[in-house]
Amino acid sequence: MEQINEQQLTALELSTGTDYLKSGAASLEIHPLRDELYNELHSRPFHLLNSPAQITHIAVQHGGKFRDEEHQFLSQLCDRYQTSAPARTMPCYHQNFGLFSLRWERHLEFSSYTFIHEGPLTGVPFAKNAIEYVPKDWLNSIPGKVVVALHMVVEPSDGDEEPGVSVVRDYFDNLRLIGSRPHNGGAKVWTAFRLHNDGFGRMLIYNRGMTTAQLGRLVQRLLELETYRLMATLGVPMARQINGQLNGLESELKELTQQIANADEGYSDRELLSKMSQMAARSEAFRSQSNYRFAASLAYYDVVLHRLDVIKEDEITGHLTLREFLSRRLQPAVRTCQTVSTRLDDISRRITRASDLLRTRVETAVQEQNQQLLSSMDRRANLQLRLQQTVEGLSVAAISYYSIGLIKYLMDSIYGLGVSFNKDLVLGGAVPVVIFSVFMGTRFIHKRLIKDADH
């Protein structure tokens, strides 16, 4: 391979706009997405978290929209505190604003805002939360629809100073508690997976000696667990609504299939085809409406299961663990979406088969009509041929008659000039000659026309 010197390489870079990796004598062309692919693994780093801390987590659904609005929203907060704003293409942003810090992440259909206040409690847990340090007027203009709203309190503990279960239950408005010890007992987590009077969920963590990195990873995974388990259930209301409408659609399909089978009962194929087309359109409308939502629910559910695996929780005697509670409640919800999706696919296939059957019957009827039409055309063609032959015979007689008349006038003229001959004898002899000549001429013209038509 011919070597490229420094000047040639520089000129090549300037002319093509492509980066090159130089190693010794070799110059390698770099893929334009290489840096982005490397940075993708580090675009959402874990946050180092100290305890005690109060956290408020909000996830808003944007459906892939509001990118400019979100960037403007974050820029307004940064301008207020005179800090650097995130780049428009950044998927994750973390900034300390003094009394609180913000971690923002944008995903395919939602964005999360995590507000963190590190410091001791000013009262009992959840009496004052991290969101109270955030400007209210700015927060009220958040773009999107709030799906997740959670308050989290992180407290240090050596295990002996933790309050009893009855005290913890008071923090959760005396609701039934779900608890576990993640990271093999490195922390204790309490929650109720319910909304409280302030419209937020609550989660309490007692840190039993975890490092800032371990605690940051645990908190992020628990926040993701709360977010993804709610996003996974977004498809359930749609599944129930569609399932109710599928009952009527299935009854209509059963009745229509019966009408197709009873072909002798006077049902119009045109009417049946119209009904079948309407049913197919409704089925496809349900599919286009629900396919993404059901697929997303299944994907979010897989993420929830993964987060439950990585936190490695142990049981607290007398209480359901996070996995036990979510598996019991979340799995049926996701299966509802899968069942409705499967049922919708089955109805679509049945509509397709019924449509094919009806089209086959219609095509058979059309072929029979075409066969009858061709037979009728054959009969008409034969009739026209016979009429044509009759007309040809009459034409020969008529042409011969007028031709003999012309010959008679010609003979009278010749006889008048003084030429003596037997006019009756000559005229009688001309008759068969004229008839034969006209007949052969007509046949010649007929064959010539047929030959031209074949070509």
Query: Quick check: is 410 in a domain?
Result: yes
Q: CA distances (Å), 277 to each of 269, 274, 363, in order?
A: 12, 5, 17
Last residue of a domain, one of 198, 230, 262: 230
Could you tell me what percent of the chain has a pLDDT over 70? Answer: 90
Beta strand pairing call for 187-191 and 92-96: unpaired
Last residue of a domain, one of 337, 372, 407: 372
User: Pick from 150, 164, 72, 69: which is nearest to 116 by CA?
Assistant: 150
Please identify which residue in the block is written with the tokens 């001429």. 441
Same domain assignment for residues 122 and 206: yes
Query: Quick check: is 11 in a domain?
Result: yes
Quote the pLDDT of residue 276: 81
Residues spanned by the domain of 188: 44-230
User: Pick from 434, 451, 350, 349: which is nearest to 400 by CA?
Assistant: 434
Same domain assignment for residues 338 and 408: no
Same domain assignment for residues 323 and 406: no
Same domain assignment for residues 447 and 302: no
Ramachandran quadrant class, 144 (left: phi over 0; alpha: psi -120 to 50; beta: rest): left
Please tell me whether the peptide bond between 52 and the residue prior to it is cis, using omega within 30 degrees of 0.
yes
Q: Per the structure, how many domains does the chain have?
A: 4
User: Pick from 276, 287, 196: which is nearest to 245 by CA?
Assistant: 287
Between 161 and 131, the more confident residue is: 131
User: Pick from 192, 206, 232, 205: which is nearest to 322 by CA?
Assistant: 192
Q: How confident is the model at residue 137 (pLDDT cuts 50, 70, 90)?
A: very high
Between 19-33, 187-201, 441-455, the lowest mean confidence (pLDDT) is in 19-33
Same domain assignment for residues 68 and 83: yes
Q: For 248-270, what is each residue's pLDDT tens digit? A: 888 888 888 887 777 656 667 77
Helix, strand, coil percentages (3-state) for the chain, rounded to 5, are 60, 15, 25
Residue 65 has pLDDT above 80, yes or no: yes
Query: Quick check: is 163 in a domain?
Result: yes
Query: Quick check: is 377 in a domain?
Result: no
- Give the chain's mean pLDDT: 84
Average pLDDT over residues 106-135: 92
Same domain assignment for residues 184 and 319: no
DSSP 8-state symbol, 47: P
* Buried-exposed string 56-67: b where 16+ CB fall within 10 A, e elsewhere: bbbbbbbeeebe
Query: Quick check: is 275 in a domain?
Result: yes
Query: Quick check: is 1 in a domain?
Result: no
Same domain assignment for residues 58 and 181: yes
pTM across the whole model:
0.73
Measured between alpha carbons, how far is 175 from 65 in angstroms, rounded to an integer?
A: 37
Last residue of a domain, one of 230, 250, 280: 230
Average pLDDT over residues 178-184: 90
DSSP E strands, 144-274: 145-156, 178-181, 187-191, 201-207
Same domain assignment for residues 106 and 177: yes
Residue 409 has pLDDT above 90, yes or no: no
Between 369 and 290, the more confident residue is: 290
Residue 362 has pLDDT above 90, yes or no: no
Q: CA distances (Å), 376 to each of 328, 371, 380, 382, 386, in order?
A: 72, 9, 6, 10, 16
User: Pick from 349, 449, 322, 442: which is nearest to 389 by CA?
Assistant: 442
Query: Quick check: is 257 in a domain?
Result: yes
The distance between the two most distant Cα atoms of the chain, rounded to a whole number of Å, is 160
Query: Quick check: is 90 in a domain?
Result: yes
Q: How confident is the model at residue 81 (pLDDT cuts 50, 70, 90)?
A: very high
Quote the pLDDT of residue 18: 46
Same domain assignment for residues 337 and 421: no
Between 227-236, 360-369, 372-381, the lowest mean confidence (pLDDT) is in 360-369
Q: For 429-442, what is each residue's pLDDT tens digit? A: 888 888 888 778 87
Quote the pLDDT of residue 29: 82
Measured between alpha carbons, how far is 154 from 223 in angstroms, rounded to an integer?
A: 13
Same domain assignment for residues 99 and 223: yes
Same domain assignment for residues 239 and 355: yes
Please identify which residue in the block is written with the tokens 């907060």. 77
Measured between alpha carbons, how far is 251 from 227 in angstroms, rounded to an integer?
A: 38
Same domain assignment for residues 202 and 267: no
